[in-house]
Chain A
Amino acid sequence: MKFRCERDALVEQLGTASRAVSSRGGALPVLTGIHLAARDDLLTITGTDLEITVRASVSVAVTEPGEAVLPSRIAVDIVRSLDSGAVEVEVSGEEAKIVGGRSQFSVRTLPVDDFPVLADPSGDEVTVATADLAAGLKQVVRAASSDDARPILTGVLMSAEDGGLRLVATDSYRLAVRDLPDATVLSEGQKVLVPSRALDELSRVLGESEEVRVRLGEREVTFNVSVKDGEVQVTTRLIEGEFPNYRQLIPSSYPNQLTIGREPLLEAVRRVKLMARDTTPLRLTQKSDCVELMAVTQDVGQAHEEVDAQYDGDELTVAFNPDYLIQGLEAALGDEVVLETLDALKPAVLRSSQGGDFLYLLMPVRVS
C-alpha cells in the first residue's frame, strides 16, 4: 500500500476514526490499531472497539492500493506532529513508513488479517437535517448515565413520536426530552436505544454538514455525514433492553411555577456554585418576586444571590446539584424558562416559557 495526501486532512480524519479505538485491546490486541485501506484514490480509515465503529474517508493519491493496521496512538501522534504539506505513507511487509518533509518514521504494523470484518450497514437510508439533530443531541446526550453498570441508562432513547423524532436520556437524577417534529427517521411506533457515547462522537463531526443519513439495522444504527475533508460514518451497536417508562415520571400539574430569565439565572447559579464544594447542593428559595440562591460549604464559606423572577405558589426552598441545574439551563430553549415544583422532594420540571420541544426533569437533593 502506498499513498500521498495532505497532512491537515489526514490528521483530521485519522483523529476522528481513532476516537473509536479502544485504549486497551483486551482479548484482541489488533483493536488498539487503526485500519487503513487505500483504493481508487480514496483512503478509508477505520477504528473500532467492536461496539462503536468510526470510519472516516479522505481523498488521497494512491500509487499502490492495499490495506494495513497501524498502532493508532502512535500513528495519530506522528501525523499530528508533522508540518502541513504532503505526507506519504508506504506499507511493505510488517513495516509502515510515514514521511513528511524531512521527517521519516517507520512503524511496525499489526496483523491486518486479525482486524474484525465489519458488516456493511443494513436498512433503508433516511436523511435528517443536521441543525435539528445537532441541537437535539447537545440538549439530551449529557443527561445520559456514564455508569457502565447500568447499560440501559447509558443510552439515548430515539422514538417515533407524532411523525417526528423524540430523544430521551436519563441518569436517574435528571431526564432530558427533546422532540424533533420534522425529523422522520423511524416508522411510527418504532424505538431504539443508542449508546450516548456514539452520539457524542457523532455530535463532534456534525459541524457544518447539512444533513445526516441514517440507516437503521436490526442490531445497529449507522450515521453518515459529509465533512470538510471527506466522509465520516459512525456505526454503533444498539443497546438491548427496555428504557424506563419516563412518561409516568413527569407529573401532570405543578402548584408552584417560577418564571425567570434563563441567562440571568444561569449566571447566578454559576457564581453561587463556586461555594458549593463536593456534594454541597445549591438551595433555591422561591419567593413572590424573586428567587434566592444559596450555597454553604462548611469550613469554606457561603454564597448568596437574588434573581428577579415571577413566582406563583407558596414560598418553597428546594435544593439541587448545581451541575445538573446548569446543564438543564444550558440546554433549555428561549430567553425565559419556567421551573415547576411540587415540593422539596419531588421532581422539578424546567422548560421554556413558550412551551416548546424541550423538557428537563430534575430530582432535588434532600438536605437535612
Chain B
Amino acid sequence: MGDLPILHVDMDAFYVEVERQTDPSLIGKAVIVGGESERGVVASASYEARSMGVRSAMSSVLARKLCPDAVFVRSNFSRYREVSKQVHEIFDSVTPHIEPIALDEAFLDISGAHKLFGSSETIAWQLRNDVYVGVGLDCSVGVARSKLLAKLASEAAKPKATRRGVQPGLGVYLVPPQEETSFLQAHPVEALWGVGSVTFAKLKALGISTVGELALVPEDVLVETLGTSHGMHLSELSRGIDHRRVHSKRKSKSISHEETFAQDVFDRSHLVSEIIRLSDAVSTRARRKGLAGRTVHLKIRRPDMRYLTRSVTLSEAVDILPVISETAIEMLDQLDLAEGVRLLGVGLSRLGAPGPQQLTLVGEELSDPAWGQLSAAMDRIRERYGEAAIGPGLPRKNEGMND
C-alpha cells in the first residue's frame, strides 16, 4: 500500500494577502476584499476580520457592522489570476496531476511523485515552502487517501480566527488511514460536500448533526429522506468512502453570465433585453471555446434574495444567440415576477463539440444555418474591433416615469 496519494492545497486568505503585498500598510489590519457598496459582498476577509465574524460571501453591509474598523479593498482579479498562475506552476513542478478548484485552491495527485520527492509528508512541507519562497504567500496543505479527507485536512491545517485573535495553523495536516474514521466523524455534517441548507435541515430533523451520527444511519433511511443518488452518496462520504479522482483536465460543465441590477427590475421588456444581452455573451463564449450546449438555464434572484431557477433541454446542442434567448424568454414568461428581479442569469450546459446536425423532414431544426454564418461574422468583427463593436439589436427599454 502506497503513501497517502492526495494533496489539497488551499491558499490562506489569498486575495487579502495578495493585496497586502501591493500595499504593506494593510498588514496587521482587518482587511476585506469586496465591494463596499450597498450590494457588495465579501470576496475574502483577513483572519483579523474573520475573528470578528466576517465570512466570505457575506454582504458588505453586514461585514461593516461586524467589523467597523475593517479596511475595504476593491478586488483585482487580474492580479489574483496572475499570482494563481505562478502558484500553479509551482504545483506543476511536483506533479502534472492537478485539479484546480479555484484561483486559490487545488487538488494534487502525488501517487507518482514519491520516488522523486519522497514521502507525502515531505512533499507537502516542501510544497508549502516552495509556494512561500516563490510568491511570498502561505498555504495550508491537507494530505489523505481521498479528496474529501484531504480537503477537510487542509481546513484543519489552517490558521484559526477566534474571538481572542488569530491562532497560527499547523500548515500541513495528515490523515493516516487508521485515523480516518475518528477524524472524519468528529466533523459537523455541513463539512461534507453536498450538504447545503436543504439537506442540512432534513438531516437535522433526523437528529443528525455530526458525520459520525450520519455514518450510523442505515443507507436506506438516507435514501428515503434524500433520494437515491444523494442519499447513497452522503452515506458513502460519511463512512469515508470517496472514489473521486483528481481530474487534471477539467472541462467546463457550463457557461453562464449573470447581472445584478442596481435597482430591482419589474419591467418585462427590460428583462428581455438583458436576456438577449446575456445570451449573446453566453453564445459568444461557447463558440469561442468551440462548444455547444443542449440545456439552457435561467436564473433569477428576487428582492427577498430567493433564487428561482429553470432549465430546458433542447433536442440538439446549440451555440447561437436566438435559440438560447428565446428558450430563456419562454422560461421567464412562466415565472411570477410581480415582486421584481434583483439578479438575472442565463446559462448553457451539457456542453460538447457542436456536432453534425441531424436534419428533420419538416425543417424544424433549432439552429438556422443563416444564424451560424451571422454568428461567425459577429465573432470575426469582435475579434478585430473589440467586444462592443457589434451586438444584437435590443428591444427598447420601457423607461416611463411611473414604472
Question: Which A residues are within 8 Å of any B CB, using their own CB?
Answer: 170, 172-175, 244, 249, 278-281, 298, 319, 321, 345, 347, 361, 363-368
Instruction: Say yes or no: is B38 at the interface (Cβ < 8 Å to chain A).
Output: no
Nearest CB of chain A from residue B82's CB, rounded to whole Å: 33
Chain A, Cβ-Cβ closest to B354? A368
**Complex contact A319–B356 (CB within 8 A):** yes
Q: Among A174, A175, A363, find the residue whose CB has the most chain B CB atoms closer than 10 A.
A: A363
Inter-chain contact B360/A366, CB cutoff 8 Å:
no
For B360, list chain A residues within 8 Å (CB). Answer: 172-173, 363
Q: Which residue of B lies closest to A172 (CB)?
A: B360
Of the A-B pairs whose beta carbons lie under 8 Å apart in the complex, a sample of 21, sorted by A's number, is: A170-B361, A172-B360, A172-B362, A173-B359, A174-B361, A175-B361, A249-B361, A249-B362, A279-B356, A281-B356, A319-B356, A321-B358, A345-B359, A361-B361, A363-B358, A363-B361, A365-B356, A365-B357, A365-B358, A365-B359, A366-B369
A368 to B372, CA, bound (A): 11
> A278–B361 Cα gap in the complex (Å)?
21
Contact B355–A278 (Cβ < 8 Å): yes
CA distance A321 to B357 in the complex (A): 10
**Most chain A CB inside 10 Å of its own CB: which residue of B353, B355, B358, B360:** B358
Mark B151-189 against chain A: 1 for CB-CB distance below 8 A, else 0.
000000000000000000000000000000000000000
Residues in A neighbouring B369, C-beta threshold 8 A: 366
Q: Is B364 an interface residue (CB 8 A)?
A: yes
Complex CA gap A249/B362 in Å reads 8
Closest to A147 in B: B315
10 more A-B residue pairs beyond the given contacts A298-B353, A319-B356, with a C-beta to C-beta distance below 8 A: A172-B364, A173-B358, A249-B361, A279-B356, A279-B358, A281-B358, A366-B356, A366-B357, A367-B356, A368-B356
Q: Considering the complex, give the chain A residue whose CB is closest to the CB of B357.
A: A366
Least CB distance, A50 to chain B, in whole angstroms: 27
Distance of A79 from chain B, by nearest CB (Å)? 27
Q: What residue of chain A has the Cβ atom nearest to residue B360's Cβ?
A: A172
Set of chain A residues within 8 Å of B355, measured between Cβ atoms: 278-280
Q: Inside 8 A of B364's CB, which chain A residues have their CB?
A: 172
Smallest CB-CB A-B distances: 7 pairs? A279-B355, A172-B360, A366-B357, A367-B356, A363-B359, A365-B356, A365-B358
B360 to chain A, nearest CB (A): 5
Q: How many residues of B contact A (CB 8 A)?
A: 11
The minimal Cβ–Cβ distance linking B377 to chain A, given in whole angstroms, is 16
Give the A-binding residues of B (Cβ under 8 A). Answer: 353, 355-362, 364, 369
- Of the candidates B353, B358, B361, the one whose C-beta lies within 8 Å of that of A347 is B361
Task: Give min CB distance, B84 to chain A, whole Å.
Answer: 29
Q: How far is the CB of A313 from the nearest CB of chain B, in Å?
A: 20
Complex CA gap A280/B358 in Å reads 10
User: Which residues of A have CB within 8 Å of B359?
Assistant: 173, 345, 363-366
A345 to B356, CA, bound (A): 12
Most chain B CB inside 10 Å of its own CB: which residue of A175, A361, A365:
A365
A361 CB to closest chain B CB (Å) equals 7
Taken together as a complex, chains A and B put the C-alpha atoms of A244 and B360 apart, in Å, by 13
Find chain A residues with CB under 8 A from B356 CB.
Answer: 279-281, 319, 365-368
Which partner residue on chain A sits nearest B358 by CB separation? A365
Which B-chain residue is minimally distant from A347 (CB atoms)? B361
Q: Which chain B residues lie closer than 8 Å to A366 at the CB level?
A: 356-357, 359, 369
Q: How far is the CA of A195 from the CA of B134 in the complex (A)?
A: 69
Complex CA–CA separation, A172 to B355 (angstroms) = 19
Residue of B nearest to A245 (CB): B362
Docked Cα-Cα span, A365 to B369, in Å, equals: 13
CB-defined contacts of A363 to chain B, threshold 8 Å: 358-361
Q: How far, in angstroms, from A279 to B356 measured CA to CA in the complex?
A: 7
Question: In chain B, what residue has the closest Cβ to A361?
Answer: B361
Q: Provide the residues of chain B in CB contact with A365, threshold 8 Å.
A: 356-359
Neighbouring B residues of A279 by C-beta, 8 Å: 355-356, 358
Cα A363 to Cα B357 in complex, Å, equals 11
CA separation between A104 and B224, bound complex, in Å?
30
| B357 and A173 form a contact (CB under 8 A) | no
Name the CB-closest residue of B to A281.
Answer: B356
**Closest Cβ–Cβ distance, residue A109 to chain B (whole Å):** 24
- Distance from B224 Cβ to chain A, minimum over Cβ atoms (Å): 16
A298 — which chain B residues lie within 8 A by C-beta?
353
Which of B355, B359, B362, B364 counts the most A-chain CB atoms under 10 A from its CB?
Answer: B359
Q: In the bound complex, what is the Cα–Cα distance between A281 and B357 (angstroms)?
A: 9
Nearest CB of chain B from residue A257's CB, rounded to whole Å: 20
> Of all chain B residues, which has the CB nearest A246?
B361
Once bound together, how far apart are the Cα atoms of A275 and B362, in whole Å? Answer: 29
The chain A residue sitting closest to B355, CB to CB, is: A279
CB distance from A91 to the nearest CB of B (A): 30
User: What's the Cα separation between A321 and B364 when bound, in Å?
Assistant: 17
CA distance A368 to B364 in the complex (A): 19
Residues of chain A contacted by B358 (CB below 8 angstroms): 173, 279, 281, 321, 363, 365
Q: Please, how many angstroms separate the alpha-carbon atoms of A173 and B365 in the complex?
A: 11
Q: Is the CB of A172 within 8 A of B357?
A: no
The distance in angstroms between the C-alpha atoms of A244 and B353, with both chains bound, is: 32
Would you give the shortest CB distance from A76 to chain B, in whole angstroms? 23
- Chain B neighbourhood of A281, CB < 8 A: 356, 358
Determine the distance from Cα of A172 to Cα of B365 in the docked complex, in whole angstroms. Answer: 10
For the complex formed, measure the closest distance between the CB of A285 and the CB atoms of chain B, giving whole angstroms.
16
Q: How far in angstroms is the closest Cβ of chain A from B131?
A: 35
A281 to B359, CA, bound (A): 12
How far, in angstroms, from A244 to B356 measured CA to CA in the complex? 26
B319 → chain A closest CB, angstroms: 12
Q: Considering the chains assembled together, what is the distance between the CA atoms of A71 and B218 in angstroms?
A: 26
Contacts of B362 in A (CB 8 A): 172, 244, 249
Complex: A364 Cα to B357 Cα, angstroms: 9
Most buried by B among A279, A364, A365: A279
Closest partner residue, chain B, to A283 (CB atom): B356
Closest approach, in angstroms, between the C-beta of B313 and any C-beta of chain A?
A: 10
With A and B bound together, what is the CA distance between A13 and B356 in angstroms? Answer: 45
Chain A residues, CB < 8 A from B361: 170, 172-175, 249, 347, 361, 363
Whole-angstrom CA separation of A173 from B359 in the bound complex: 7
**Bound: A364/B360 CA distance, A:** 8
Q: Which residue of A lies closest to B367 (CB)?
A: A366
- Give the complex CA separation of A298 and B352 in angstroms: 13
Q: Shortest beta-carbon distance, B320 to chain A, in Å?
A: 14
Q: In the complex the two chains form, what is the Cα distance from A244 to B363 in whole Å?
A: 13
Residues of B within 8 A of A280 (CB): 355-356
Give every chain B residue within 8 A of A367 (Cβ-Cβ): 356
Q: Chain B's nearest CB lies how many Å from the CB of A273?
A: 15
